[in-house]
Amino acid sequence: MTITVSTDGSALGNPNGPMGWGWADHELATGGKPGHHHDSDCDAGGATNGTNQIGELCAVLEALRAHPGSEPLVIETDSQYAINCSTTWVHGWKKNGWKNSQKKPVKNADLIRAIDAEISKRPGPVKFVWVKGHAGNAGNEKVDELARTYAAIAVRRSVKDIFLWRVGSRCWLPNIRKVPMFPMMPKCCLTAKSLRTNTIWGAGKASPLKDRWPMI
């Protein structure tokens, strides 16, 4: 059975503003079903400092990690950038030592490498489908709201260092104040350098990010 998910990213004050990302299954109540290594039918998170492109890539990466099985996976996104990074440009960048056509380092290379690794090791095929944003597509509208909501939360959280968070259960957001905040962290968004220098926030206190953040 094919699994279809929508992904999206958002940034306020792009670039280098509060950023959010989100993915959502098209089928509801999928948590725990075959091919779904997650508790709910969607997930979202964000950071105080990021870009729209980082948000788009984070959403794709987290969607792949939540669906690692042999079932065919279709990822719908309104980001041509995320699609090209994941399916086309990545091959040339790998051959060129992760340098672009101007011989400069590829932006967001850590995230793109992580996406490529997830696709490569996944037993089932992955297909990307572009959808027009803000055009009434139910899945796209849902993840757009998730991403924008978490970017907005970052504005309200006045901390000096980057922090990231994710929602652990209910992801549909009719009211931002109803969203539970958990100290569980998404596995994306930061480089190895950031892992050594930043702080995560959860359960009312800060702790070293490197202790709880997987390398990408």
Which residues form the catalytic set? Answer: 8-9, 56, 78, 134, 144
The residue type of 15 is P
C-alpha–C-alpha distance, residues 162 and 99, integer Å: 27
C-alpha–C-alpha distance, residues 183 and 144, integer Å: 23
- How does DSSP classify residue 168? -
Relative to beta strand 126-130, strand 73-77 is parallel
C-alpha–C-alpha distance, residues 103 and 7, integer Å: 30
- How does DSSP classify residue 105? B
Alpha helices for 67-137 (secondary structure H): 80-87, 89-95, 109-121
C-alpha–C-alpha distance, residues 122 and 119, integer Å: 5
C-alpha–C-alpha distance, residues 25 and 43, integer Å: 9
C-alpha–C-alpha distance, residues 67 and 212, integer Å: 22
The residue type of 211 is D
Contact 58, 189 (CB under 8 A): yes
